[in-house]
Amino acid sequence: MDLKQPRGCFFICDIIKVGDVMVANVLVELGAKPINKTFTYIVPTDFINIIKVGMRVKVPFGKKQLHAFVLGLEDNAPTDYELKAIIEVIDEQPVLNEELLSLGKYISDTTLCYLIQAYQVMLPLALKAKINKRVNIKKETYLDLNIELAEIDNYQLSPAAKRIMDLLIDKGSQKKSDLTKISASSVKTLLTKQIIKEIVKETYRTTHHHHLEYKKVELTDNQLKVINEVKKHLNKEKPFLLHGVTGSGKTEVYMELVSEVIKHGKQAIILVPEISLTPQIVSRFRSRFNDHVAILHSGLSDGEKYDEWRKIAREEVSIVIGARSAIFAPFKNLGIIIIDEGHSTTYKQENHPRYHAIEIAKWRSHYHQCPLLLGSATPSLESYARAKKGVYQLLSLPDRINDKGLPKVTIIDMKDEIKKGNRYFSTLLIDKIKDRLVKQEQVILLLNRRGYSTIVSCPNCGFTHKCPNCDISLTYHKKINMMRCHYCGYGTKKLTKCLNCDSDDIRELGIGTEKVEEQLTKLFPDAKLVRMDIDTTTRKGAYEHILTDFKNEKYNILLGTQMIAKGLDFPKVTLVGVINGDTSLNIPDFRSGERTFQLLSQVAGRAGRQDLEGEVIIQTYNPDHYSIECAKNHDYLGFYNQEMIIRRTLRYPPYYFMILVRILSKDYKLGLEASQKIGDYLKQLVNDDMIVLGPSTANLYKINNIYRFQCLIKCKDKAKVIPILKDLINHYEHNQKINIEVDIDPIKI
């Protein structure tokens, strides 16, 4: 028998002696603190010819029954003590193929997560080793002929029955539900007479409609240059960075490369930051590749995800477009991986396993020997630095497709406007909005804060109304008349008196989208305005509705948080206004400058994308900040050079790797003590290539009643530090009061 051992997987197996049976080494999920070890079970003879590595089985475990992944099989394994037997083999085909089995090992090694977590994250819920939830396969009943054509004349048929028979003869089997619409009684009669028969088929829940007509474009010389460069390396592991300004035709380049890849019988993965926010890229791919495209994202139900996954595994599609987890699409012959907006933070998973989709993409591009293309108008400093060093090949699309160029950006100093009494909108922005309303063009307004007022405080004593569970100010939401915590969801009534000094002079500070919406309605009572943020898009499909209605010009103004900044391509948008360009500058994170530059460049890129010229107004209290200045001048390189100087001086990425060690405890004192011990321990290991900062309290020092402390490691060589961290995690493994979280290459600190 063929004993497929997953490549690169080795486990501590129980030592087994004497006997003559087949045993399986299986991995189970055991609650919050699992163990990285397999358990051994006997494979009953009935299963010997069915069971394969990568399948799920049901096993007895203590008093419970658990689902487990089979990671190894041993024939003729000797055994001298009682092993329990596998109860059931769940799958007909392995859910983890050889590639995913070894990819899981890589994820566990590089993110320091448990192997079981790595496997679970790669699979849709229906295929995880979990016993509690079942996701069904949808079945549909079809009807088909049950007699030879020549026999038909032997039967007396009603006109309705005849119509049904004609349909089946002409078009083959039909959905039962469609035929009963013609005549339910005829269907019944035909079935009882056994003239027709029922066939139950597996179907997919996901039905896709595409309305967009595919318009073939004449590729520009710049686009062709990029395409040809990638084409030269289609059968190689090779990373490319495509630096292309907004509207430079990157998506067209992606489609051309994908078309080339599938012509060779291979498959393509395209990642986008958040699929419901970028519906246009999906419809463009659909219009060109029709049913070859599967979609994977968090907006799908578990059943729908399972269906899309099966289409991929069965190779019924050759393209998948999806958010982060689509990087695990089980294609067997990948020809290219494309990551659009490669700088986006959504590609890093924030809880275990803390993997980055780009790292997974590199691993798979090596495994399949295919290129990896990272596209962005504002590449992360890390990837641009790699491109400069030649680790990635740099490709560029420096110009917009339309000959209008990038939109003109005007910076407004809000310090001056405040003096004039303009708290929310500068005079210029108001004038420009008026102008667009008259011309019947459209406006996008960005404010990266939701709610009505973001701080409620007492000027008398300085008290701020904070969440009792988290170290964060509550935001007032006027529509529901509640104070809300944006971290834990805590809600309470608005104060009428200060909790601290009893003063009733409670002030609201800080503006959110709800307040700006109210002000806009006052200023422009005739304008049709729509707000898009988490609060207005909780219903399924809400994003799509708002965006479609905006595209169809049901609205003049789209106001929203950063969710409106990405990938939208609306020809009538000629004005983009940023209400407060500083929201991301004020975040205490070394990447705040980079985030601000990215966000402003991105939202600016929504203006004037087609025939009409666009312009952008950014309101700010920091008009001289280089992030804002460079965004104004569309000057990526200028930003890159300035920011790199800071990164080098302060020894931040990409000059040093960063690792965040977070110490979590419900008990402040215990957490503090543990963090000091860990800080001391790490500091004694410091060498020339390694710096340890802290311990300190995290930026949000309490979330959901858990205190958070952290140490920050900067190092030149991650591989040297990882064993130390493994030890640390092991040391606290059984400590119920302290949790250690290690985040390697954190995206937020």
Matching residue, tokens 């395209």: 270
Tell me the closest approach of the beta carbon of residue 27 to Zn ion, in angstroms.
Answer: 35
Closest CB to ligand ADP among residues 382, 569: 569
- Six-digit token pair at 590? 């070394």
Single-letter amino acid code for the residue at 734: H
Q: Does 247 bind ligand ADP (CB under 6 A)?
A: yes
Torsion over CA: 536, 541, 545, 547 (sign):
positive
Nearer to ligand ADP, 283 or 704 (CB): 283
Q: Is 471 in the site for Zn ion (CB under 5 A)?
A: no
Q: Within 10 A of 336 (CB to CB), how many other CB atoms are there?
A: 26
Among 74, 252, 256, 341, binds ligand ADP (CB under 6 A): 252
Which residue stretches of 172-301 are H helix?
Answer: 176-182, 184-192, 221-231, 250-263, 279-289
Residue among 3, 137, 461, 542 that touches Zn ion (CB under 5 A)? 461
| x/- track of binding to ligand ADP for residues 161-200 (CB under 6 A) | ----------------------------------------
Rounded to the nearest whole angstrom, what is the least distance from the CB of residue 67 to ligand ADP in the complex? 42
Burial class (CB in 10 A: 0-12, 13-18, 19+), 49: exposed
Query: Which is nearer to ligand ADP, 246 or 584 (by Cβ)?
Result: 246
Is 221 among the residues that bind ligand ADP (CB under 6 A)? no
Q: Which of 283, 460, 519, 697 binds Zn ion (CB under 5 A)?
A: 460
d(CA 170, CA 191): 19
Task: Report the C-alpha gap between 161 and 196 in whole angstroms.
Answer: 11
> Tokens 């790490």 label which residue?
682
Give the whole-angstrom CA distance, residue 560 versus residue 570.
15
* Interface with ligand ADP, residue 220, by CB under 6 A: yes
Instruction: Give the binding range for ligand ADP (CB under 6 A) out of 43-51, 218-226, 309-317, 356-364.
Output: 218-226
487 part of the interface to Zn ion, by CB under 5 A: yes
Task: Give the interface segment with ligand ADP, choosing from 214-222, 296-304, 365-373, 736-744 (CB under 6 A).
Answer: 214-222
- Interface of this chain with ligand ADP, residues 625 to 644, rule: CB under 6 A: none
Strands, E assignment, 78-135: 88-89
- Shortest Å distance, C-beta 224 to ligand ADP: 9
Considering Cα of 257, then 260, then 261, then 262, what sign does the dihedral take? positive
Looking at 36-44, 63-71, 215-223, 233-241, which segment touches ligand ADP (CB under 6 A)? Answer: 215-223
Q: How far is the CB of 346 from ligand ADP (least distance, A)?
A: 17
Among 290, 333, 481, 500, binds Zn ion (CB under 5 A): 500
Specify the residue, 54 or 375, whose C-beta has the smaller distance to ligand ADP. Answer: 375
Q: 401 touches which of Zn ion, ligand ADP, none (CB within 5 to 8 A by kind)?
A: ligand ADP
Report if residue 250 touches ligand ADP, rule: CB under 6 A: yes
C-alpha 743/C-alpha 620 separation (Å) is: 33
Whichever of 12 and 501 has its CB closer to Zn ion, that residue is: 501
Question: Among ligand ADP, Zn ion, none, what binds residue 250 when CB lies within 5 to 8 Å by partner kind?
Answer: ligand ADP
Output DSSP code: residue 688.
Answer: T
User: Is residue 606 close enough to count as binding ligand ADP by CB under 6 A?
Assistant: no
Distance CA 467, CA 475 (A): 9
Picked from ligand ADP, Zn ion, none, the partner binding residue 501 (CB below 5 to 8 A depending on kind) is Zn ion
Whole-angstrom CA distances from 615 to 528, 560, 582 are 20, 18, 19
Closest contact distance (angstroms) between CB of 234 and ligand ADP is 21
Distance CA 590, CA 71 (A): 42
Comparing CA positions, the residue from 131, 135, 158 lying closest to residue 64 is: 131
φ/ψ (deg, to 5) at 302 = -60, -35
Closer residue to Zn ion in complex, CB, 257/458: 458
| Count of residues that bind ligand ADP according to CB under 6 A | 15
Cα distance between residue 689 and residue 666, in whole Å: 34
Burial of 633 (0-12, 13-18, 19+ CB in 10 A): exposed
| 500 three-state secondary structure | coil
Applying CB under 5 A, the site for Zn ion has a residue count of 15
For residue 30, the SS3 value is coil
Residues 376-405 binding ligand ADP (CB under 6 A) are 401
Among 25, 251, 378, 675, binds ligand ADP (CB under 6 A): 251
Vertex 338 angle, CA 127 and 405, to 5°: 140
Contact set with ligand ADP (CB under 6 A): 217-220, 223, 244, 246-252, 401, 569
Contact set with Zn ion (CB under 5 A): 458, 460-461, 463, 467, 469-470, 485, 487-488, 490, 498, 500-501, 503
